[in-house]
A = this chain, B = another copy of it.
């Protein structure tokens, strides 16, 4: 041990749109708009990780990033003039909820942007991201399975999980069981501890099971409570699987797939506003709790 401690802060625990979503009056959003204390407001999906508490890596940069920084003292600038404890950012794919916050990280702050080649290509094709000026923000392509250290003592490996291309890049028939750079998980290791961050995943695989078995903490796709949720609530026409997300419950769900991993701390992140587990004290929230899972909230601090 070298005094390093692997820590994570959940900056945003919601899925795309957050809770409440700007145009939504679903059951959960109605409670949130009305100020009902059973539903916490949640910003969009992002995690900060560190091993020294001084320098932080962002996993995903959500559209809510400016507010998330303001709400998180560990990420406030320190010292004189311009500075930030955020020294590196890693979007797990090119979803709007995962890259729009890069636009907040402008103002000529030195930074390293790590991403897969396909994510970097998408960013390069959208010139608005040039606000991250090339002379101060270095863009580094990261291959799947390549271990690198974005911060001293913190190692990162990206790995593919089943998923689909971002919604705004969908064309023609959509394959939701792609395994490639489109949907990745992040293996984080530091201070002798291992954390997995998998905000989107369409189904369990043997290689993912092996990674979970070796981890101390897993933050996992909690988008939907069950596969038919969006259709039943009148919010959409797609099943969870068509959206590229394993549901929390039911056949092929995450609670089922993770039942074997009793020794791993399990936390749901990327939780959609339609998900009734967001209502504290609801039968659905109780069921998730009984299955041994936590439901993340904004500002949640995790010591791995």
Task: Give me the interface of A with B, judged by CB distance under 8 Å.
Answer: 16-18, 20-26, 29, 33, 41, 43-44, 63-67, 69-70, 76-84, 86, 96, 99-100, 103-107, 109, 125-128, 130-131, 167-169, 234-235
Whether B127 lies near A168 (C-beta < 8 A) is: yes
List residues of chain B with CB within 8 A of the CB of A83.
23, 25
Would A128 and B17 be within 8 Å (CB), given that A25-B77, A81-B26, A235-B82 are in contact?
Answer: no
Nearest Cβ on chain B to A66's Cβ, whole angstroms: 6
List residues of chain B with CB within 8 A of the CB of A26.
81
Q: A22-B66, A25-B80 are in contact. List 7 more A-B contacts (CB 8 A).
A: A22-B69, A22-B84, A23-B84, A33-B76, A81-B235, A96-B106, A128-B128
List residues of chain B with CB within 8 A of the CB of A67.
64, 67
**Which of B20, B130, B235 contacts A168 (CB under 8 A)?**
B130
Separation of A64 and B67 alpha carbons in the complex (Å): 8
List residues of chain B with CB within 8 A of the CB of A82.
23-25, 235
List residues of chain B with CB within 8 A of the CB of A33.
76-77
**Could you say which of A44, A106, A127 has the most chain B C-beta atoms within 10 Å of its C-beta?**
A106
- Jot down 28 A-B pairs with beta carbons below 8 A, ordered by A: A16-B107, A17-B107, A18-B66, A22-B65, A22-B66, A22-B70, A22-B104, A22-B105, A22-B107, A23-B84, A23-B109, A24-B77, A25-B79, A25-B81, A25-B82, A26-B81, A33-B76, A33-B77, A44-B66, A63-B66, A63-B104, A81-B235, A96-B106, A100-B103, A126-B126, A126-B128, A128-B168, A130-B168
Whether A63 lies near B103 (C-beta < 8 A) is: yes
Separation of A23 and B89 alpha carbons in the complex (Å): 15
Whether B21 lies near A107 (C-beta < 8 A) is: yes
Separation of A241 and B202 alpha carbons in the complex (Å): 52
Nearest Cβ on chain B to A126's Cβ, whole angstroms: 4
List residues of chain B with CB within 8 A of the CB of A70.
20, 22, 41
**Could you say which of A24, A29, A44, A82 has the most chain B C-beta atoms within 10 Å of its C-beta?**
A82
Whether A81 lies near B127 (C-beta < 8 A) is: no
List residues of chain B with CB within 8 A of the CB of A169.
127
List residues of chain B with CB within 8 A of the CB of A29.
77
List residues of chain B with CB within 8 A of the CB of A44.
66
Q: Nearest chain-B residue to A132 (Cβ)? A: B168
Q: Which 8 A-B pairs have the closest CB atoms?
A: A23-B84, A23-B109, A126-B126, A131-B168, A100-B103, A126-B128, A130-B168, A22-B69
Separation of A133 and B130 alpha carbons in the complex (Å): 24
Separation of A29 and B126 alpha carbons in the complex (Å): 31
Whether B96 lies near A131 (C-beta < 8 A) is: yes
Separation of A96 and B168 alpha carbons in the complex (Å): 19
